[in-house]
Structures are given as structure tokens and as C-alpha cells.
A and B are shown apart, each in its own frame.
Chain A
């Protein structure tokens, strides 16, 4: 059993081992939907929500799989759970808040193939977190994802206005920017106890 406190788990997932910048999970949306700050915020919110839901589900599934003695089904069960919870979230949002549903658009179904979500489920199992610890881990990962995405979007909005040599434009400069951001986040390493 892991005895780390919820607060340290939260900070660890959000800052020290930031999901995007230190563990490279969820790079696709990080590069794909980080061109505007408000889209980045919405995407981050949706991802955090799905992370929390699938973290709770993964906790239950893991207990059930250990009970029936079939840990090799873990990966298959997790991915099915995530896909169906994304579907569920999509239906709920569509019913209760059509405006939000339209705003999120294509991002919602794409969350299924976001490795950060599966990453939360896998890591919380590997680290043997209990229920509360799992929840704070998922919340921390989601907050870390939002921070990285919004910072990146802010930098890219500035980049639009500056003159960049045509050779560097596009993915190359985005990646080098991400590298600098990642270096800045290495500064949080000192917070680890």
C-alpha cells in the first residue's frame, strides 16, 4: 500500500511530474489543440473530467479483476471502460448543456485515444493507490494537463504575432518551445520530498 498523502500526490502529478511536459502523455492534443487559450481551457476541462470518471472506474475494475484472478484483462478492460465513459460523458453533456457540447465538438470523442487518460488508470494501479489517492492523482494529472496546455497556447498566440523564419515555422518551433517549457518545469523537481 502506498502511504503518500493526497496533497503530495496532487502536486507531484500536477507540477513535478507534469503529465505532458515530464511524462509525455497526451502530446497529441498538446500539439494539436494548443493554438488558442480558450479552446485549450475547454479541452483541458473535458480531459480532467474524463480522467476523474475513468479513474474511479479503473479503481473498481482493478478490484474486480483481482477478485476473479484475471489481471491480464486489465488493459482491455480499462480501454473499454474509458471508451464507454467518454460516450457516457458525451451523452450527459449533450442532454444537460447543449452549448458546452457544441463548444467541445470533436474534442470529446478524441479523448478516448488520449494516452494521458489511460496513463492515469495504469499508473494509479501500478502505484497501488487507494480510492482517495487515486482521485487526487487524477485531479492532479488533469490540472497539470490544463496548465501545460494553457501555457503552451499562450506562447503560441504570441508566436503568431512575431516574425518567425519560414524554415522554423510549424511543428519545429512548437517542439522547441515545448522543450523550453519542459525545462522550466524541471525547476519543480526540487519540490519532491
Chain B
């Protein structure tokens, strides 16, 4: 993130104007050689020196520039984000003119921004708005700065190496509440059962195996019968999202289904964490234990961002074991084929169909 001015590869290209001037210089040189006229030699010298000085001025303009790039910490696939590039001119005297600043992303130059003037010992911050469609790990390789100043004869520039790897989270889609109503009610039903918590569940008559500590004496006196107070369970709302990344074969269509399933899994995790649930993600050979809050969400999203499909042999089916949900509600998201034995999962989602909810 820090500023630097290390140059890796330089760019020098003649523009169309430059090519025209070079060609015309050749013509003038021919005229000078054939006529021997010193005034034509003078014009030729003027053209050559004009080109040389243009090149030097462009070089001065690019000299001693420092770059700093600020990329957002969390980037979601399909959601635009802004990368701020700060260009600092460390020259004491000369301004830099006509700078085209762009980022190199995955070895490809992105559309840049034009800075007409950057005075000496000054900085300018240019914002680039990007949109990445694919989740996963990506790299901003460097910052490319180029100029055609002063008269567009040359395109001079260089790529300042500044590799920075980013993880693009899967796309988060807005889930249909109607679709999730059953799940939510089931989860809340499960939580609203008597237990040893502190929240009041209800009152009932005393039974033989009741603990005498829970007898509500005040109410018993009023009702002239032994009444015990029942409390809710102490546990939080727990959702265990199991993402089955098993694919029989990896081709374009299955890949598409897989991505759709990832989107669904990520959206489910995001949805429940936003509602204050504890969420656990189990996928392949890795599981992220129950947790809540943004940190948990980003950990899950990072895992989903980097997840890859697995074929039959290498796939692990440990997540079908009953104890994996640890008393939480189990949601299974699969990609290709619904498993025959869905075990204790209360809901099973076909990622290919419901991914775009």
C-alpha cells in the first residue's frame, strides 16, 4: 500500500502524429540531401530536435512519481468498488503533465484516468471504479502511468510494480423472505423450548420430577396449587450451512451450477448472520465453527471465495454425519445431484435452481 517508485517495464510507442512527423522528417532530409539547401537542413534539424525534446519532456514528466493504491478490504463479486490511486510528484521544480494512470489487473490493463497536471511536490488522488464478476483470488499487478505530453508524438510510460492480491467474495443476492419463512420459524420453534435459560417460557403445575427450586411460591400461594416456572433454552439461534462441493465432472455447465450454489451458500450465511444468528459453514474438508458478527461472515465469505469444486474421488462426505450440526439447524446446499440420504438436514437447497433468488 505504501508509495514507491520502482519501475519494472517501460513503454515507448510512437503515436500516429509521431509516425507522421518521422515520415515527414525523412522527406525533408531527402530534400535537404538532394538540394543541399542549408535552410532545409535547418528545418530538418528543427524537427529532429523537436522530437528529441518532446521525448525528454515526457521523461521529465514521468520522473520521480510515487504511487499509492487503496483497495477496499472487502470486495464482492458483481458489486462495484472504488480503488483510489494516489500519485505524488516528488520533483522539486517541475510539474508533471498529462498523466494517464491505470491499474494492471490480472496482467490486463484496466481503463485509466487522466490527470492533466500534477504540480511539483503535490499529490492527486484518482478514483477508479471497477466491477469484478468472478469470485476468488485476484491480483492488482501494478500501476501503469503513461503520458503523451507535450505534443502527442510519443506515448511514454512505465509500469510501477505493486502487486497486491485481493480476495473477491462471492456474489451476495437478496434472499426471498417468503422462501425462508419456514426455516426461520423452525429455527425459532426449536429455540422456544423449555430449558435452563433465563428467559421466561411459561408456568405449569408442579410434577413429581420437577426441581423444587423452580416452584414459584408467590403464584402457588395465589393459586393454592404448586406452580413451577419454566424457562427457555439458554442456546442462541444456530444455523449450520453445509455446502456440498461435489461434482461428478467439471465442465462449463457444472461450473456454472457450482458458482450458483456458492452464491446461494454465501447469501444464506450473510442473511442469517445479519439477523444475529450463529452460523457455521461446512464445506468439503473444512468447516468454520459457529460464530456471529461481521468477522464470522467475512471468514465464511473468504472460504467460499476460494472454494473449488471437487470430483467424486476426492470429495469428503463427513458433513453428513449427524453430530456436525451441534444442535443447530442444518441447511444443505448442493450443486449437482440431491444426496439420497439427507440425514438431519431440515432444509436442502439445490444451488443451481435457487442460486438466483
Tell whether A and B belong to one assembly.
no
Instruction: Point out residues on A near B: beta carbons under 8 Å.
Output: none
